[in-house]
Amino acid sequence: MTDFAFRSEHSFLKAASAAPTARAEQPPRFGLAGVAYDGAVTNRPGARFGPREIRLASHMLCDAIHPHFDVSPIDHLADFGDLPLPNTSLAALRAALEPQARELMASQHMVWLGGDHSITLSLLRAARAQVGQPLGVLHFDAHCDTWTDHFGEPSGHGTWVYEAIEEGLVDPQAFVQVGIRSAGQREARDFVQQRGGIIHTARSLRGLESPNQLAAVLASMKARWAERGSPPLYLSLDIDCLDPAFAPGTGTPEPGGLTTNQVLTLLEELADQNFVGMDCVEVAPAYDHADLTSNAAANFVWTYLCGRLAHADVARDRHAKINATPTGR
């Protein structure tokens, strides 16, 4: 009997819950934790309440087999709850989050529920240390998040892409953005492409929803990651990539966004890629209607986990690679 051997009404998918310090003899393969911080937003706050609403929404999925992957992650998942973190200073948040993330990543394939998007920089720092090489990134967002400052401060929820590239946490040529459409200076909007990455704007994806319609987009991503040596991939999914019709509950909604089907097709068809972790951020339930946003977020996280399970051979390769690679920056 381990600490993970009980279900919790408060967990994602009602999975086994575990305190962050708990250690099982045989940890489950996947871990999930909330990072309930929204102190670095530029517009409407409230994403600190994202994790609990995403968990609640996930309970609709808790006893179900995924319709495409035909698996369930329920017995392979532990929910570590919301991490104990400061909720005002971003610097204090960063200092507290990264060591906790590193510890959890050392024993589980982690999924993180935000929180605003500033948390991703800390998670990438931890993941970079864990895998021992720069990561490729699949980044769903309405916003490019490449701003070089946050209203005069060095860091916020719209600077993490710029910072991650500048710090060498990621391979800029293996950085793929999807759904970008917000207003912004051209140098910010083009930044990832200028550094050699790929940007699929929301406009360029209009009308493309099925696997066939998205075949060229999918091929371009897979070819790029293969060319870059199939680096470990990190998935960062800002729920505002979706059109506000599908995800009104977010702090910085941008009309003209992706459909839920577009995101699901991409997640499903990319499930054979070398993902090592995921975050889903910017769910702000106070602006939601009928739980649309938290339902979408829960479904995306569930789909990601099921995709990992369905492609277990990819994950085994990843573990072999990590075990053969010394960690550290």
Q: Is 250 exposed, middle or buried (0-12, 13-18, 19+ CB in 10 A)?
A: buried
Q: Does 243 bind Mn ion (CB under 5 A)?
A: no
Cβ 144 vs Cβ 182: under 8 Å: yes
For Mn ion, the binding residues in 78-97 under the rule CB under 5 A are: none
Q: Does 141 bind Mn ion (CB under 5 A)?
A: yes
Q: Does 254 bind Mn ion (CB under 5 A)?
A: no
Please state the closest distance from residue 136 (CB atom) to Mn ion, in A.
20
Please state the closest distance from residue 252 (CB atom) to Mn ion, in A.
6
Please state the closest distance from residue 7 (CB atom) to Mn ion, in A.
33
Q: Does 240 bind Mn ion (CB under 5 A)?
A: yes
Nearest to 114 by CA among 31, 30, 36: 36
Q: Does 143 bind Mn ion (CB under 5 A)?
A: yes
Q: Does 209 bind Mn ion (CB under 5 A)?
A: no
Please state the closest distance from residue 147 (CB atom) to Mn ion, in A.
11
Out of 163, 238, 243, 268, which residue is the one contacting Mn ion (CB under 5 A)?
238
Candidate ranges 32-40, 139-147, 204-212, 229-237; the one touching Mn ion (CB under 5 A): 139-147
Candidate ranges 108-116, 238-246, 268-276, 304-312; the one touching Mn ion (CB under 5 A): 238-246
Name which of 240 and 288 has its Cβ closer to Mn ion: 240
Q: Does 279 bind Mn ion (CB under 5 A)?
A: no
Q: What is the number of other CB atoms lying within 10 angstroms of the CB of residue 205?
A: 21
DSSP 310: H
Residues 119-122: contacts with CB under 8 Å, at least 24 apart: 119/35, 119/37, 119/93, 119/279, 119/281, 120/160, 120/164, 120/236, 120/279, 120/281, 121/94, 121/155, 121/159, 121/160, 121/163, 121/164, 121/169, 122/93, 122/94, 122/97, 122/98
Residues that bind Mn ion (CB under 5 A): 141-143, 238, 240
